[in-house]
Amino acid sequence: MFFASDNWAGAHPDVAAALSEAAGGFDPAYGSGAWDKRVTARFSEIFEREVAVFFVSTGTAANSLSLASVAKVGGVVFCHPEAHIREDECGAPEFLSGGLRLHAVEGARGKMDPALLHEAIGLFPPGFVHGGRPAAVSITQASEIGTVHSLAEIDAIVDVARAHGLPLHMDGARFANALVALGCTPAEMTWRRGIDLLSFGGTKNGCWCAEAVVLFDPSRAGEFAFHHKRAAQLFSKSRFVAAQFEGYFADDLWLHNARHANAMAQRLASMFEGLPTARLAWEPDANEVFPILKKNTADRLKANGAAFYDWRAPHWYEGPIGEDEVLCRFVTSFATREGDIAALFGCLG
Ligand SMILES: Cc1ncc(COP(=O)(O)O)c(C=O)c1O
Ligand SMILES: C[C@@H](O)[C@H](N)C(=O)O
């Protein structure tokens, strides 16, 4: 009954098979081999335009290098207070960019409020060296609290960023989950809306260790390559990341995995809503479920072997959480089975 994180799930057998298949023979190293070229071409097909792709080891690396590539001296990146780049990357974006600062912009359900974003950017008037200067805007899709920006919500954020001449980064650690939740195309959810740089995550959705930075303006690849190498993210045997993505994209496995994970989250959510000792803090849009449980219910689930996290209530969340209650996070994945959910609730009798 593992619901702590989709990071706990293993690799999908088809991705594992693709990796094994790539083990034999020789192929040029450092991103210049046949696998690399094939997978870069596949990314361009998926996004319906030529893109530059750089494999990295973690989502933190993808986020940090994306932001480093648009950094300026005294630069400020605008993101939600709960953004992973601000809360869970130990200063890597700031460090790898040579000192970018992250400025939090409030908004409900894990998504920045465009009006507040416009206001925040205005706090940094041109030439006011003391405060620094705007450098980029970053959104997370799907968000850290399992919500998904609608296309209109992305447009509203992009409009503000464009009005101020700022590039847009998307943290897509759970990109596939958001994509299938919206039912749109990868292009519609990214560059056609004005997204410039994408952290594309495969690890949580069935890969062993496969993350990538996707540049929708391939002319930026030359400069990005130096950020990538300096951060020690240029894999010598990059074919083994490429091979994972090849298996991941084959027969739309990535979309099937994400649809399954999201469906399991919906199932989990409906089960919580049927419990007298639980209620949903907010509806899940993707594969993360946030119920408020009676503490003794949470304790019983853990005592029976369920793995999930207690979660700090976001400050935009106004719903009451009683003294005898706790907000929790349950994450589903491609590997979650109906039986896992039945077992979770079975132990409550
Ligand atoms: C929203 C989000 N972004 C990025 C990441 C990347 O993190 P990591 O560096 O652990 O791969 C995670 C990890 O779970 C995440 O939840
Ligand atoms: C750091 C932790 O939050 C991780 N990103 C997860 O979602 O499980």
Instruction: Give the pLDDT confidence of 233-263 residue by residue, as tens digits.
Output: 999 999 999 999 999 999 999 999 999 999 9
The last residue of one of the domains, among 253, 278, 301, is 253
pLDDT in tens, 157-205: 999 999 999 999 999 999 999 999 999 999 999 999 999 999 999 999 9
CA angle 40, 230, 174 (to 5 degrees): 50
How would you classify the pairing of strands 168-172 and 197-201? parallel
Cα–Cα distance list, 61 to 20, 299, 307 (Å): 25, 35, 27
Q: For residue 71, report the distance from its CA to the centre of ligand 1, in Å.
A: 21
DSSP state of 278: E
The tally of domains found in the chain comes to: 2
Residue 193 and residue 51 in one domain: yes
Omega before 181 within 30 of 0, i.e. cis: no
121 touches 160 (CB < 8 A): yes
User: Nearest 10 degrees: CA dihedral of 283, 286, 288, 293?
Assistant: 20
pLDDT in tens, 336-347: 999 999 999 987
Mutate to test the pocket of ligand 2, among 80, 82, 88 (most ligand atoms within 8 A of CB): 88
Indicate if ligand 1 lies below 6 Å from the C-beta of 177: no
- Count Cβ atoms below 10 Å from residue 318 Cβ, excluding itself: 8
Indicate if ligand 1 lies below 6 Å from the C-beta of 82: no
pLDDT in tens, 283-301: 999 999 999 999 999 999 9
**What residue's CA is closest to ligand 2, atom 8?**
5
Q: For residue 207, report the distance from its CA to the centre of ligand 1, in Å.
A: 14
**349 pLDDT more than 80:** no
The burial of 159, by beta-carbon neighbours within 10 Å (0-12 exposed, 13-18 middle, 19 or more buried), is given as middle
Q: For residue 5, report the distance from its CA to the centre of ligand 2, in Å.
A: 7
Residue 43 and residue 186 in one domain: yes
Indicate if ligand 2 lies below 6 Å from the C-beta of 270: no
**Mean pLDDT, range 110-127, rounded to an integer:** 97
Q: For residue 98, report the distance from its CA to the centre of ligand 1, in Å.
A: 21
**What residue's CA is closest to ligand 2, atom 1?**
88
**Mean pLDDT, range 320-339, rounded to an integer:** 97
Q: For residue 116, report the distance from its CA to the centre of ligand 2, in Å.
A: 26
The last residue of one of the domains, among 223, 253, 283, is 253
The last residue of one of the domains, among 253, 273, 293, is 253
Q: Is residue 305 included in any domain, yes or no?
A: yes
Mention every residue, 6+ apart, whose C-beta is less than 8 A from residue 346: none
Model ipTM value: 0.97
CATH number at residue 324: 3.90.1150.10
User: Quick one: which of 192, 155, 152, 154 has its CA closest to 171?
Assistant: 154
Residue 142 and residue 24 in one domain: yes
| Coil/strand/helix, residue 271 | helix
Bridge-partner residues for 327, per DSSP?
292
Indicate if ligand 2 lies below 6 Å from the C-beta of 58: no
Which ligand is closest in space to the CA of residue 5? 2
170 touches 139 (CB < 8 A): yes
Q: Give me the chain's average pLDDT, please.
A: 97
- The pLDDT of residue 123 is 97
Which ligand is closest in space to the CA of residue 169? 1
**Mean pLDDT, range 109-129, rounded to an integer:** 96
Residue 142 and residue 290 in one domain: no
Instruction: Give the position of tokens 């391939």.
Output: 218
**Mean pLDDT, range 199-219, rounded to an integer:** 98
**What residue's CA is closest to ligand 2, atom 6?**
5
Residue 311 and residue 219 in one domain: no
Return left, alpha or beta for 238; rule: phi > 0 is left, psi -120 to 50 is alpha, else beta.
Answer: alpha
- The pLDDT of residue 347 is 79
**What residue's CA is closest to ligand 1, atom 5?**
59
Instruction: Give the position of tokens 């990357």.
Output: 89
User: Quick one: which of 192, 247, 225, 309 has its CA closest to 54?
Assistant: 225
Cα–Cα distance list, 136 to 125, 160, 345 (Å): 15, 11, 44
Band (319; pLDDT cuts 50, 70, 90):
confident
Atom of ligand 2 nearest to the CA of 6: 8
Residue 182 and residue 195 in one domain: yes
Cα–Cα distance list, 35 to 18, 19, 240, 248, 323 (Å): 11, 11, 8, 13, 55
- Domain residue limits at 298: 254-346
Q: Is residue 4 included in any domain, yes or no?
A: no
Residue 291 and residue 249 in one domain: no
* CA–CA distance, 83 with 172 (Å, rounded to integer): 12
User: Quick one: which of 96, 144, 110 has its CA closest to 317?
Assistant: 110
**What residue's CA is closest to ligand 1, atom 8?**
59
pLDDT in tens, 29-88: 999 999 999 999 999 999 999 999 999 999 999 999 999 999 999 999 999 999 999 999
Q: Is residue 188 included in any domain, yes or no?
A: yes
* CA–CA distance, 265 with 185 (Å, rounded to integer): 22
pLDDT in tens, 130-147: 999 999 999 999 999 999
Q: For residue 185, report the distance from its CA to the centre of ligand 2, in Å.
A: 26
| Coil/strand/helix, residue 179 | helix
Indicate if ligand 2 lies below 6 Å from the C-beta of 88: yes
Residue 214 and residue 262 in one domain: no
- The pLDDT of residue 224 is 98
Q: For residue 173, report the distance from its CA to the centre of ligand 2, in Å.
A: 10
- The pLDDT of residue 231 is 98
Indicate if ligand 2 lies below 6 Å from the C-beta of 44: no
